[in-house]
Amino acid sequence: MQYPEPIAQLIDSYMKLPGIGQKSATRLAFFTIDMAQDDVTAFSKALISAKRDLHFCSICGNITESDPCTICADKTRDQSHVLVVEQAKDIMVMERMKEYHGLYHVLHGVMSPIEGKGPEDLNITSLINRLQKNPAIKEVIIATNATPEGEATAMYLSRLIKPAGIKVTRLAHGLSVGSDIEYADEMTLFKAVEGRTEM
**pLDDT of the chain, 199 residues: tens digit per residue:** 689 999 999 999 999 999 999 999 999 999 999 999 999 999 999 999 999 999 999 999 999 999 999 999 999 999 999 999 999 999 999 999 889 999 999 999 999 999 999 999 999 999 999 999 999 999 999 999 988 899 999 999 999 999 999 999 998 877 677 777 677 778 777 777 777 766 5
Residues 48 and 80 in one domain: no
Residue 50 identity: A
* Residue 192 included in any domain: no
User: How far apart are alpha carbons 100 and 112 in whole angstroms?
Assistant: 28
Residue 90 backbone zone (phi > 0: left; psi -120 to 50: alpha; other: beta): alpha
Residues 80 and 166 in one domain: yes
| pLDDT of res. 105 | 98
* CB-CB contact of 127 with 137 (8 Å): no
Residues 88 and 161 in one domain: yes
| pLDDT of res. 173 | 78
Residues 45 and 88 in one domain: no
* Residue 26 included in any domain: yes
Residues 122 and 47 in one domain: no
Can you point out the beta strands (E) in 50-160? 55-56, 63-64, 81-85, 103-106, 139-142
| pLDDT of res. 191 | 78
Q: How many domains does the chain have?
A: 2
| pLDDT of res. 198 | 65
* Residue 193 included in any domain: no
Q: Which domain holds residue 25?
A: 5-53
User: How far apart are alpha carbons 154 and 186 in whole angstroms?
Assistant: 21
User: How far apart are alpha carbons 148 and 122 in whole angstroms?
Assistant: 16
CATH number for the domain spanning 37: value is 1.10.8.420
Q: What is the DSSP letter of 48?
A: H
75-79 own/partner pairs: CB under 8 Å, 24+ apart:
77/101, 77/102, 77/103, 78/102, 78/103, 79/103, 79/134, 79/136, 79/137
pTM score of the predicted model: 0.83
